[in-house]
């Protein structure tokens, strides 16, 4: 029996097409945010190396707390807000780029987001896309505007990749076991989801007032890293 398109038991072509596009777009986004995409994320610790060297971060629990603070109250949260803002149709990527620059609390923080954003855009241009150099969350958001994905998914996966970079740095430098690193990632998931939801829920007029960092320890560590004599990471 042939079920007509639109029948409750059927699968309308439009729905199938949208589903297929969303699946393809999800693969695209995960490719952009994967460690294989050449933005050199492995080279940046976001100040975590300085915190480990100082002894304030020294085991799995302190690593988890440090990263959670960055995501919930520091640059992870501000990146999420900027990224969510860029995803909106009426957003001005240039203005949001200036905002992202102003939010960078130190020279190394700015270099981290600038360099990763430039590398992200350069790789996309090499793949045939029209991509301008922007701070990293702006570059990702501008690219993801063309994807048929919910904004919350984009922001959540961005934050997950960000957290994964920091966990990977901790696994190498504390050091931690691989399994402990994955337990930390699993524990961060609810926090990542909550920050992403809050960022996406902001109205455009609320964005500027919502920005700002309260992760003072992480911000100071990023500044101290600039003068650290022996280091493995760029930031």
Q: Has residue 88 been placed in a domain? A: yes
Q: Has residue 65 been placed in a domain? A: yes
Number of domains the chain contains: 1
Q: DSSP for 15-84?
A: HHHHHHHHHHHHHHHHHHHSTTSSS-GGG--TTHHHHHHHTSS-SHHHHHHHHHHHHHHSHHHHHHHHHH
Residue 146's alpha-carbon distances to 34, 103, 166, in angstroms, are 19, 26, 28
Identify whether the C-beta of residue 131 lies closer than 8 Å to the C-beta of residue 139.
Answer: yes
Say which CATH number the domain at 203 has: 1.10.4190.10
Structure confidence by residue, pLDDT tens digits, 190-230: 999 999 999 999 999 999 999 988 777 777 877 778 776 66
Structure confidence by residue, pLDDT tens digits, 111-149: 999 999 999 999 999 999 999 999 999 999 999 999 999
**Nearest Cα residue to 76 out of 159, 199, 167, 134:** 159
Q: Has residue 3 been placed in a domain? A: no
Q: Has residue 228 been placed in a domain? A: no
Q: Which of the four pLDDT bands, split at 50, 70 and 90, describes residue 25?
A: very high
Higher-pLDDT residue of 162, 229:
162
Identify whether the C-beta of residue 211 lies closer than 8 Å to the C-beta of residue 103.
Answer: yes
Q: Has residue 174 been placed in a domain? A: yes
What is the widest separation between alpha-carbon atoms in the chain? Answer: 75
Q: Which of the four pLDDT bands, split at 50, 70 and 90, describes residue 12?
A: low
pLDDT at 6 over 80: no
The SS3 of residue 128 is: coil
Structure confidence by residue, pLDDT tens digits, 42-91: 998 988 999 999 999 999 999 999 999 999 999 999 999 999 999 998 99
Amino acid 10: pLDDT = 52
CA angle (189 as vertex; 92, 73 as ends), nearest 5: 55
Q: Which domain holds residue 159?
A: 44-223
**Nearest Cα residue to 212 out of 127, 48, 122, 99:** 99
User: Tokens at residue 105, please?
Assistant: 């609390």
User: Tokens at residue 141, please?
Assistant: 């958001």
Q: Has residue 70 been placed in a domain? A: yes
pLDDT at 4 over 50: no
Q: Has residue 74 been placed in a domain? A: yes
Q: pTM for this one?
A: 0.90
Contacts of 53 (CB under 8 A, 6+ apart): 228, 231
**Nearest Cα residue to 63 out of 76, 51, 46:** 51
Q: Has residue 1 been placed in a domain? A: no
């Amino acid at each position: 029996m042939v079920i007509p398109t639109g029948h409750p038991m059927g699968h309308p072509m439009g729905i199938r097409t949208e589903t297929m596009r969303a699946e393809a777009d999800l693969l695209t986004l995960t490719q952009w945010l994967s460690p294989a995409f050449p933005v050199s994320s492995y080279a940046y610790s976001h100040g975590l190396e300085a915190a480990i060297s100082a002894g304030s971060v020294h085991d799995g629990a302190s690593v988890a707390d440090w990263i959670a603070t960055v995501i919930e109250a520091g640059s992870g949260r501000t990146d999420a807000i900027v990224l969510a803002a860029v995803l909106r149709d009426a957003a001005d990527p240039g203005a949001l780029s200036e905002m992202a620059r102003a939010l960078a609390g130190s020279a190394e923080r700015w270099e981290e987001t600038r360099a990763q954003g430039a590398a992200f855009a350069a790789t996309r241009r090499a793949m045939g896309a029209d991509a301008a150099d922007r701070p990293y969350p702006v570059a990702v958001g501008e690219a993801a505007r063309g994807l048929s994905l919910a904004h919350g998914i984009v922001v959540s996966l961005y934050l997950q990749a960000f957290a994964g970079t920091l966990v990977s740095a901790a696994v190498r430098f504390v050091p931690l076991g691989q399994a402990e690193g994955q337990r930390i990632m699993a524990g961060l998931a609810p926090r990542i989801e909550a920050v992403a939801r809050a960022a996406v829920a902001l109205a455009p007029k609320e964005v500027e007032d919502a920005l700002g960092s309260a992760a003072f320890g992480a911000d100071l560590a990023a500044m101290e890293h600039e003068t650290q004599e022996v280091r493995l990471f760029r930031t």
